[in-house]
Amino acid sequence: MKLRFAPSPTGFLHVGNARVALANWLVARRAGGTFVLRFDDTDTERSKPEYATAIEEDLRWLGLDWDESFAQSSRLAAYEAAAERLKKSGHLYPCLESEEELRFKREQRQKQGRPPVYDRAALKMTAEQLERALANGKQPYWRFKLSPRTVEWHDGVLGRRQVKLPPISDPVLIRADGSFLYTFTSVVDDLETGVTGVIRGEDHVTNTGVQIDIMEALGMRPGRIDFAHLPLLTDADGSQLSKRIGSMGLRQLRRDGVEAPALCGYLAALGSSQDPVPGMPRELLAGFSLEHLSRSSARFDPTQLLALNRRYLHGLDFATVRDRLPDGADERFWLAVRGNLDLISEARDWHEVAAGTPAIAAQPEEAELLRLALDTLPPAPWDDTTWGSWTRALGAASGRKGKALFLPLRRALTGEDHGPELKAFLPLIGPDRAAQRLRSAIG
């Protein structure tokens, strides 16, 4: 098995791309096959090496590796050769119509109630007409003559799929400046590099019909390549995700503190009935199969992703996370706060609350309780029994219980209404800071 992920380096990866990359990687690795990274950089104006580098970096961050990588721009000779074969066999034909002419023809057809399919007028061009045009400095572009048939395949996710070719305009494969289009270069690469399967987004279904036709014109045995299309991702509100939704870009998510195992676990389960579990790709191998995926579109819900991120952080041990914690944060600190984090960056804030100087608001209306607390502050050393014995005594002395007792204390000790359990957090604050803060809160 040989699969490939083929991003265009025209921008940063978004979650939709990441899902396709992950699915290809998981299927290939599960089968002990090869995984290839291919840069579809035929759009020379929009492709940038910086994007290719960023894509590699993002894939590594996700925990994906590849056995081979190449860019289509390194294979121009192979595309030339394949194009020559198609010209010889009559599958590629030269065209001269301008954009305006084509638009006019489309509009005419639409007015007549006919589908706006290209009428293949260029096929009627004589050799003399073409020569004259060339002599006048005109350069043809080349279209592929689609067969008059319906292409059918068994899709790895969508089941039996068909694409009727007659209502599709013959695709342009070579521009007038001689550059190749993705529709063609992808086919040549998939055939010549021995790719055995293509897993990509559902937006490519029509492409697949067209590309199978081109592959077979190049001599491919029908069914040599397996196709599987992942149903589209929609936003939480049901609209289609796109590259333009910056907030769903991988880099942004990463900057926002989403952990790779949370994102991978979420993407691997998305669109299936399986419960997501956080994990790096290698840990997700056993549980993943295209067969689990539903045929309908999947909602990408950042809230669920965040819940998984939380779950991942809660189970994370100190040794794994220590390099990412603020100076001075020890295991006791980590165990006290991890259950309270949505994002690892919040550990820094809690460290400031534990060992720094958080702002403590005065609570004059609670002065009596807080003074009592200050007077009964237990002596050092503090451990995780301190909070219990102290508040039990305070409760008995003040007649307070529940929120009426705990909220003024939490506010006075941490400056926050919510946070980690004080049983484990109080020892991190310690008697000196606790006394100081209680005094500030008394006002």
Say whether residue 229 binds ligand GLU (CB under 6 A). Answer: no
CA nearest neighbour of 308 among 355, 349, 360, 269: 269
415: left (phi over 0), alpha (psi -120 to 50) or beta: left
**With respect to ligand GLU, which residue has the nearer C-beta, 26 or 429?**
26
By CB neighbour count within 10 A (0-12 exposed, 13-18 middle, 19+ buried), where does 166 fall? exposed
- Residues 39-68: x/- map of binding to ligand GLU (CB under 6 A)? -x----------------------------
Nearest residue to ligand GLU, by Cβ distance, number only: 40
Q: Does residue 394 contact residue 344 with C-beta atoms inside 8 Å?
A: no
In whole angstroms, how close is the CB of 199 to ligand GLU at the nearest point? Answer: 8
**With respect to ligand GLU, which residue has the nearer C-beta, 45 or 275?**
45
In whole angstroms, how close is the CB of 40 to ligand GLU at the nearest point? Answer: 4
**With respect to ligand GLU, which residue has the nearer C-beta, 198 or 270?**
198
Sequence length of the chain is 443
**With respect to ligand GLU, which residue has the nearer C-beta, 186 or 363?**
186
Binding ligand GLU by CB under 6 A: which of 30, 204, 299, 410? Answer: 204
The C-alpha angle 368, 371, 372, rounded to 5 degrees, equals 85
In whole angstroms, how close is the CB of 184 to ligand GLU at the nearest point? Answer: 12
By DSSP bridging, strand 298-299 and strand 233-234 are: parallel
From 6-14, 168-176, 225-233, 324-332, give the range in contact with ligand GLU by CB under 6 A. 6-14
User: CB atoms < 10 A from the CB of 292, how many?
Assistant: 14
Say whether residue 243 binds ligand GLU (CB under 6 A). Answer: no
Q: Which two tokens stand for residue 277?
A: 């579990």
Distance CA 197, CA 30 (A): 14
Q: List, as residue ranges, the binding site for ATP.
A: 243
Point out which residues pair with 201 in neighbouring strands. 230
Name the residue with tokens 């089941």: 159
Residues that bind ligand GLU (rule: CB under 6 A) add up to a total of 9
Distance CA 185, CA 222 (A): 19
**With respect to ligand GLU, which residue has the nearer C-beta, 179 or 304?**
179
**With respect to ligand GLU, which residue has the nearer C-beta, 7 or 171?**
7
Taking each helix axis from N to C terminus, what angle separates 402-414 and 422-442, rounded to the nearest 10 degrees?
Answer: 80
Say whether residue 200 binds ligand GLU (CB under 6 A). Answer: yes
Q: What is the 3-state secondary structure (H, E, C) of 30-66?
A: HCCCEEEEEECCCCCCCCCHHHHHHHHHHHHHHCCCC
In whole angstroms, how close is the CB of 142 to ligand GLU at the nearest point? Answer: 20
Within residues 12-41, the interface with ligand GLU by CB under 6 A covers 40
Binding ligand GLU by CB under 6 A: which of 34, 72, 185, 186? Answer: 186
Point out which residues pair with 141 in neighbouring strands. 95
From 198-206, 221-229, 295-303, 314-322, give the range in contact with ligand GLU by CB under 6 A. 198-206
Say whether residue 140 binds ligand GLU (CB under 6 A). Answer: no
Got the DSSP string for 198-234? EEEEGGGHHHHHHHHHHHHHTTPPTTSSEEEEEPPEE
Distance CA 317, CA 334 (A): 8
Say whether residue 414 binds ligand GLU (CB under 6 A). Answer: no
In whole angstroms, how close is the CB of 13 to ligand GLU at the nearest point? Answer: 10
From 2-10, 80-88, 97-105, 356-364, give the range in contact with ligand GLU by CB under 6 A. 2-10
From 4-12, 80-88, 267-275, 379-387, give the range in contact with ligand GLU by CB under 6 A. 4-12
Binding ligand GLU by CB under 6 A: which of 3, 6, 86, 250? Answer: 6
- Residues 142-171: x/- map of binding to ligand GLU (CB under 6 A)? ------------------------------
**With respect to ligand GLU, which residue has the nearer C-beta, 8 or 414?**
8
Residue 295 CA: distances (Å) to CA of 156, 160, 214, 384: 10, 11, 26, 51
**With respect to ligand GLU, which residue has the nearer C-beta, 8 or 363?**
8
Provide the binding-site residues for ligand GLU, judged by CB under 6 A.
Answer: 6-8, 40, 182, 186, 198, 200, 204
